Structure 1
Amino acid sequence: MNISTFDLNLLRVLDALLRERNVSRAAERLALSQPAVSNALGRLRDLLDDPLLVRVGRAMQPTPRALELEGPIRKALRQIEESLSEGTRFDPAHSRQRFTIAMTDYAEMLLMPRLLPRLAELAPGVRLDVRHLTPRLPAEALEKGELDLVLGRFEALPPRFTGSRWMSETLQVVACKGHPQLRQGLDLQRFLELRHLWVHGGQTRGMVEQWLGEQGLVREIVYSTPNYLQAAHIAAGSELVAVLPTRLAHYFAGLLPLELFDLPFALGPFHLDVVSLELRQRDVPLQWLVGEIIALGDSA
């Protein structure tokens, strides 16, 4: 293929189509008409001699050739964008940027009630899309540009990623008021005898399990969930106990019939970081958003 005759704008269309898997949504993302995007897709199919996206039911699925091109094209477009924007001034007040962030419901509860009013004041055109944080760092989604940021707890990051400290947190035990096994308080033996609800919060192994394992101890986990907010309601309505972040525990103790107990063993704080690709350190709009998030974490 002769690159000198290839319309590079078609790559933006292909990137949008692979992100959205829908012609109408891709057109909206690109601020183009639906016929213009359909025409561009037809040109791409002819140039690359591949259907690229095929309809399966109501959805469009990429072909193996399209999936092969997705990562390199997205990386190239991002590098071009960063090179062109380097040294330019970012004006949040007039930005129409869209950012996609992965986090737990707990981090979302802490951050968004304070970040959204801030954005409404400084950057009313900016849009945020939040995805649920999986138990592992979603490295592939960050590299493909499907995610801009991840906010969570990670013990180690691969070299191609960078993390900025957002906030530190401790843990407490929550139980329903009048829990029959906790009338005399909570010590280690009683903690091990209780039936537990575990919120994995984007982790494959929690701090409590790590400490217990080092001591050769095991607690009985009868229910696990990725949802911090639901855990407090379950604990309030049952005899299951949960270990929750202290800020969340105190918040729900003011709303639900819950009692709070300190852990019967010493655990240090854990830290939540804002993680992005190292390559995007020069992405001015993204780094502006990171700065806003970190500033709110310091005051959480």
Structure 2
Amino acid sequence: MAYIFPMNMSNFDLNLLRVLDMLLREQNVSRAAERLALTQPTVSNALARLRDLLDDPLLVRVGRRMCPTPRALALEGPIRAALKQIEQTLTTGDAFQPLLSHRQLRIALTDFVEQLCMPPLLAHLQTAAPNLRIDVVHLAPNLPTDALDRGDLDMVLGRFNELPARFTRKLWRRETLRVAVRRNHPQVINTLDLQTFLQLRHIWVHGGQTRGMVDQWLAEQNLQRQIVYTTPNYLQAAHLIAATDLCVVLPTQLAQQFAELLPLDLYDLPFALDPFELDLVYLSHRQHDPALAWLSEQILAIAQP
């Protein structure tokens, strides 16, 4: 059995962990150097030192990419979590100065929520926090717990059911649904009843969900609609129905915005559904991060249309 000698941490430059974290994110020395505000030779030298200290190549060139080794992949999560914890420990209790901050915060959401949230938020940040950087990533059907735990994401904004106990949920807004069809649709004249609704051919925008409220209600009534196209993009769905005889169920605020831009008619659902909730979610232990707390307050303040 091989004996593994423990590393002498007194001789280990912890700044190397920041370099390794960024190299694993970017898998490219030049991009990592740019994001770290270092020169490319400095990052290359740091990688060489890491390889020597850890006795592993860590990243291996494959074509134009540098692919992590199994050892690097095993280190990625713990290193990122440790760096995030250090950052939070050092910033806890510090006053956040939005006018001066250059923090970068990453949020996962759907294009629907982005359309409702980001225009007023960015207009506000333009004067309140002009150097704050917001990176948006697409929200998948399930809560991205791993990305939140690793620190790859700071918060998510969307519709969620059960959450693990380590997360905090804050209500952002409540939404209802409307049915949208193209103007002068041959099957929909003045009103939309349930029979016509079921006869229509539907686009389903899954919006980060594995099953929609409409289909759940229909299943409970032993009914089913004809879905012929699915997409994660609300904007694309609105343009598709404007050019076809398909229909789509959209959140009310978004449907009203689209109806102002496209030749669409909007109708109430031919059955009653309760409003659904959109929540702001983040790891509970991060509530003491002043930048995250400040941004959360700004998002919650623009909740209502």
Q: TM-score, normalising length from structure 1?
A: 0.96
**Residue in 2 aligned with 1:180?**
186
Give runs of aligned pairs for residues 213-228 of structure 1, distance below 5 A.
213-228=219-234
Kindly state the Cα deviation for residue 154 of structure 1 after the two structures are TM-superposed. Answer: 0.7
Could you tell which deviates more after superposition, 176-185 or 283-292? 176-185
Kindly state the Cα deviation for residue 139 of structure 1 after the two structures are TM-superposed. Answer: 1.5
Separation in 1, partners of 2:111, 2:247: 19
Q: 2:88 aligns with which of 65, 82, 102?
A: 82
**Residue in 1 aligned with 2:102?**
96
Q: Are 2:93 and 2:288, in contact at CA under 8 Å, matched by a contact in 1?
A: no
Kindly state the Cα deviation for residue 28 of structure 1 after the two structures are TM-superposed. Answer: 2.1
**Residue in 2 aligned with 1:106?**
112
Q: Are 1:19 and 1:146, in contact at CA under 8 Å, matched by a contact in 2?
A: no
Q: 1:281 aligns with which of 281, 287, 290?
A: 287
* RMSD (Å), alpha carbons: 1.2
Could you tell which deviates more after superposition, 184-193 or 82-91? 184-193
Separation in 2, partners of 1:39, 1:184: 70
**Residue in 1 aligned with 2:261?**
255
Separation in 2, partners of 1:53, 1:162: 36
Separation in 1, partners of 2:189, 2:223: 23
**Residue in 1 aligned with 2:202?**
196
Separation in 1, partners of 2:21, 2:293: 22
Alignment length (residue pairs)? 299
Q: 2:30 aligns with which of 20, 24, 32?
A: 24
**Residue in 1 aligned with 2:173?**
167
Separation in 1, partners of 2:166, 2:26: 26
SS of 2:292's partner is helix
Cα distance per residue 1:97-146 (max 9 Å; x no partner): 11111111111111111111211101111111111111111121212222
User: Which amino acid in 1 is paired with 2:62?
Assistant: V
Q: Is structure 2 residue 218 aligned with structure 1 residue 212?
A: yes
Kindly state the Cα deviation for residue 208 of structure 1 after the two structures are TM-superposed. Answer: 0.4
Separation in 2, partners of 1:24, 1:277: 32
Could you tell which deviates more after superposition, 38-47 or 13-22? 13-22
Where does the alignment leave 5 or more consecutive residues of structure 2 unmatched? Answer: 1-6
Q: TM-score, normalising length from structure 2?
A: 0.95
Cα distance per residue 1:192-240 (max 9 Å; x no partner): 1111110000100001011111111111000010000111111111111
SS of 2:244's partner is coil
User: Which amino acid in 1 is paired with 2:167?
Assistant: F
Q: Is structure 2 residue 11 aligned with structure 1 residue 11?
A: no
**Residue in 2 aligned with 1:66?**
72
SS of 1:93's partner is coil
SS of 1:158's partner is coil
**Residue in 1 aligned with 2:3?**
none
SS of 1:205's partner is coil
SS of 2:48's partner is helix
Q: Is structure 2 residue 299 aligned with structure 1 residue 296?
A: no
SS of 1:130's partner is strand
User: Which amino acid in 2 is paired with 1:152?
Assistant: G
Separation in 2, partners of 1:28, 1:286: 24
Q: Are 1:100 and 1:129, in contact at CA under 8 Å, matched by a contact in 2?
A: yes
Separation in 1, partners of 2:283, 2:70: 25
Separation in 1, partners of 2:213, 2:76: 37
Separation in 2, partners of 1:286, 1:12: 21
Cα distance per residue 1:124-178 (max 9 Å; x no partner): 1111111111111112121222211211111111122222111111000001112
Separation in 2, partners of 1:25, 1:118: 30
Cα distance per residue 1:29-71 (max 9 Å; x no partner): 2222221111111100000001111111111111111110111
Q: Is structure 2 residue 171 aligned with structure 1 residue 152?
A: no
- Aligned-residue identity in percent: 64
User: Which amino acid in 2 is paired with 1:205?
Assistant: R
